Amino acid sequence: DAGVTQSPTHLIKTRGQQVTLRCSPKSGHDTVSWYQQALGQGPQFIFQYYEEEERQRGNFPDRFSGHQFPNYSSELNVNALLLGDSALYLCASSSGTGWGDEQFFGPGTRLTVL
Amino acid sequence: GDSVTQMEGPVTLSEEAFLTINCTYTATGYPSLFWYVQYPGEGLQLLLKATKADDKGSNKGFEATYRKETTSFHLEKGSVQVSDSAVYFCALSDPFSGGYNKLIFGAGTRLAVHP
């Protein structure tokens, strides 16, 4: 059983560009959350998708947007990239959105903005 | 708002030493509490969790007890191994934060165990 998968593994972009990151949830999971982990810090919640809708959002600007597809996979899009967007982007999936439900994390996509 | 505070690292121990990593939290409601571990170059793995006061989560020799009176969830292990070297994150999920399982993380504590 494949766990959470993310692509690409690494990505290098320049300021002002746009980027799309992809995530496939663990089999049987219908909820996908995205987190940003800056170097040396804990992950910060970006948003969560359930039933193809954004259910909850953290303190991130509108440059960060997402989408969930009918097969539950998800994309994270970041427009007008800034140097400060350089981070590890983690996708997590769960079965449902209950506050005790365990989230399973993917290996992440390392984004470097030059 | 909700927050998690962890002891700063790095924590450096000899093999077979006792480990404690402190974690305290602030939350509006009665959160679920988690410890995640991140090995070099990898994503996060759930280590253990507790969903109500006085619950003890345990896994792979690690333990943590949900202490509502002190708003704490300290991680302990009686005898660490070199393979335990990693970054440990304390996290919470608060049902009053919209009712969904958004995780709020501490800054992480790096553990280095040497032979």
- What DSSP designation does B72 have? B
A37-62: average pLDDT: 93
Residue B20: φ, ψ to 5°: -135, 130
A107–B42: do the CB atoms touch at under 8 Å?
yes
Q: Which among A96, A100, A108 is the nearest to B43, CB-wise?
A: A108
Residue B9: φ, ψ to 5°: -105, -165
Kindly tell me if the per-residue pLDDT of A96 is higher than 80. Answer: no
B4-18: average pLDDT: 94
A27-36: average pLDDT: 94
Give the model confidence (pLDDT) of A75-95 as tens digits. 999 999 999 999 999 999 998
Mutate to test the interface with A, among B42, B103, B104, B105 (most CBs of A within 10 A): B103
Give the model confidence (pLDDT) of B62-108 as tens digits. 999 999 999 999 999 999 999 999 999 999 998 777 667 889 999 99
Query: Smallest Cα–Cα separation from B2: which of B83, B109, B92?
Result: B92
More confident residue, B4 or A100: B4
Q: What is the mean pLDDT of chain B?
A: 93
Query: Smallest Cα–Cα separation from A107: which of B84, B89, B37, B41?
Result: B41
Q: Which among A35, A42, A94 is the nearest to B101, CB-wise?
A: A94
A42-52: average pLDDT: 94
Give the model confidence (pLDDT) of B19-30 as tens digits. 999 999 999 878
Mutate to test the interface with B, among A21, A37, A95, A99 (most CBs of B within 10 A): A99
Structure confidence at residue B103 (pLDDT): 92
How is residue B5 written in tokens? 């505070």
Give residue A99's pLDDT band: very low, low, confident or very high (50, 70, 90): low
- CA A37 – CA A21 distance, rounded (Å): 14
CB contact A104 to B (< 8 Å): yes
Kindly tell me if the per-residue pLDDT of B41 is higher than 90. Answer: no
CA distance B93 to chain A (A): 6
Structure confidence at residue B8 (pLDDT): 86
Structure confidence at residue A97 (pLDDT): 66
Structure confidence at residue A1 (pLDDT): 66
Q: Which among B32, B49, B100 is the nearest to A97, CB-wise?
A: B100
